[in-house]
Amino acid sequence: MDIEWRISRKDVARIKALTRQQRGNALVRARTAANLAQSKPQIRRKRFWYQMVSMRLTSLQRSGPDSHVARFIRTDPFPVSYDATCRAPRVRPFIAGALRDSGGIRFGGTIAKQLAANFRLLEEGEWAHALKQCNRLTRPVPQTAEREVADYIQQTCYGFGPKQPRNFLQALGLTRYEIPIDSRVTDWLNEFGFPVKLSAAGLADINYYNFVSDGVQALCAKCGVFPCVLDAAIFALKDGDAWNEDNVIY
């Protein structure tokens, strides 16, 4: 069976008003410049690993501009960079120690275990395919290609549900359609009047996730707005002026 998304002129007007209201926000401007670019830099190991670590940290904990997670991600030099991780005698304790020393990051032991497993997977032969998949998106592609790459990341990497691969790809500047749907987005969609009451817990199921994502994409297509820009506008609405040119990381 197919679902027919019926979108009213009022819906369109509300989306356009939100994105127009937030277009000057630093996060919205950065997202527009990066993700809507016609040509994007090739993804290499260092950047891939940095964003894999960064985006895994955003699960089940605050990740706004002033959060412990955001401060860790902005640390220069990055405590668990690819080069530093390669030099570590034991990867899992190295990552766990860096997360513990930063303070305020939850589930550090679990995250370290999963990231160490991903590092081992990549180093033992997955790098070529992982980078090839990501680099499919360095030029504009249909939504189906973005979803295929997100599915590959989820099916291949440890600790990645439906949301995290989209967080990862969006932070790399690669995606226009597939967005990380979390409680902020579902709360906003419920307030907006999404046709069914959404539950953030249900988003762990890929079919439910894709159902919600399809609705967002249909709404955005009707409005002439890319989902990645709507996502940034929703975050900007929730965080106010907390985002600026110095702290944009998503």
Q: Where are the chain's structural domains?
A: 9-36+179-239, 45-171
Q: 45-171: CATH homologous superfamily?
A: Hypothetical protein; domain 2 (1.10.340.30)
- The reported pLDDT for the residue numbered 134 is 98
Low-confidence ranges of the chain (pLDDT < 70): 1-2, 60, 63, 240-250
pLDDT at res. 1: 55
* Burial class of 65 by CB neighbour count within 10 A (0 to 12, 13 to 18, 19+): buried
| Per-residue pLDDT, 65 | 72
pTM confidence score = 0.93
The predicted structure's pLDDT at residue 68:
83
**According to the model, what pLDDT value does residue 158 have?**
95
End-to-end Cα separation, the chain, in angstroms = 36
